[in-house]
Structure 1
Amino acid sequence: MNDPDRPSAHSGQPSLPPWRPLLRAARQQEGRSPAARWLQLASVAADGTPRVRTLVARGWAGPAQLDLLTDGRSAKAAELQAQPAVEVCWLLPKARRQFRLRGRVAELEPERRRREENRHWLALRPAGRALWGWPQPGAARESDALFPAELADDSPIPASFLLLRLEIERAELLDLRDHPHRRSLWRLEQGWREEPLNP
C-alpha cells in the first residue's frame, strides 16, 4: 500500500497535508489496539436519514486519499453511490485525540478500480477475505447459510469486493491532552493551512 509518511523527494509529487503526520503519530500510540485501524464512517441514506458504520482503514492511496473496503451488496454501497459525501470519525483513546475527516467517495476509472481492488485483495489474509464469502449483508439469515472462516490466497476476487477511496477535503483534530483542549481545522481549499478553533 502506498502510505507516504513524508513528503516525496520526487519533484511534482504532492507533499503530505500537515494533519497526516499527527494522525500517524496518534495511531502509533495505539499500538496493536483495534482503535488504530477502526474508524466510523458517517453518511446519508437516500431517504435523508443518517447512517454510521465502523470500517477498517486499509491505507493511503495518496496524501489525502484514504482507502476502505466494503461489500458491494451492502446498503452502504448503494447509499454512497447515490450520496458520496462522507465524514470519518477516528477516535484514538490512548493518544487522547479525535480526527474527523470529511470528503467524498471517489469515482475511479474501471481499469484503475480493478487494479487497486486486486492489490487490496492480495494484501488481505485468508481470514480477512472470508467476509466476502459470506451471504449478503443485511439479508435475512438462513439456517443453512455458509460463513467460511477463510478464503484461500488463490480465491478469485468476488464481484462484491468494493474499494471505497475517500478524497479528504477537510480534517479536524480535537486534542484532549491539554487544558483547555486544542482543536484545529485544515481545509484543502485553504491549502491545508491550520486554523485553530475553540474546542
Structure 2
Amino acid sequence: MVNKMSSFIKKRALPVILALLVLYVYGGNFGKVVILIDQNMSSRPTHEIDENTEIGQTFYAEEDNICGFSFKLATFMRANTGEVKVAIRQVGSDVDIYSANFKADSVKDNEYYDLRFPPIKHSKGKNYYIYIMSLNSPTGKAITTYMNENNVYEKGTLMINGQESTGDLMFRVIYNKTILAKIAQELVTN
C-alpha cells in the first residue's frame, strides 16, 4: 500500500504540484501594466537637481505589483552634464529596492523618464519613496523635474533633501494587474 501511494505521488501528484508552482511563480506576473497614480498637474519646475540635491515624492500603494514610476524632467533648454540616479524604496528604509543611473545629457526636455522593474509582489498598503538625485552634476549644468506648488496628491509628500516640502512632484506610478489578481477580484465581486 505504501509503495502504491509513493508511486502515485511520484507519477501523478508531483508533476501536478510542480506545474501549479511554476504557474504561480511565473504565470503570476503575466498581466497588463496599468497606471496606478498619475499626478500630472504641474505649476513650475523644481530647482536644479545638482550634486547637492535630492528631490522625491512619497506615495501610497493601493495595489500589489508596483513595477515602475516616472518623473517629468526638464533640461532648462541647455546641455547638462553628470550622472543622475532615480530609485524607489519603502518609506522608513534607507535601502533602495530598485535604482538606475543615466547621463543628464540623455534627458529630453519636458518628457517623462521611466524606471521599470520586476513587480514588488506585496506592495499594497505600503508607503514608498521615489526620488531623483544627481551624483555629480554641477550647478548650471543640472536637470530638473516638475512640481505643483499645491498638495494635489493627498496620499504623499514632496521631499527636498530629506525635508517635507509643500507641493507634489509631477509623477506616475504603474503596477502589473496580473491575471491571478483579476481572477481573485472577479471571485470577490461575484
The normalised TM-score by structure 2 is: 0.29
- Which is greater in Rg? 2
Q: Which has the higher contact order (CA 8 A, sep 6+)?
A: 2
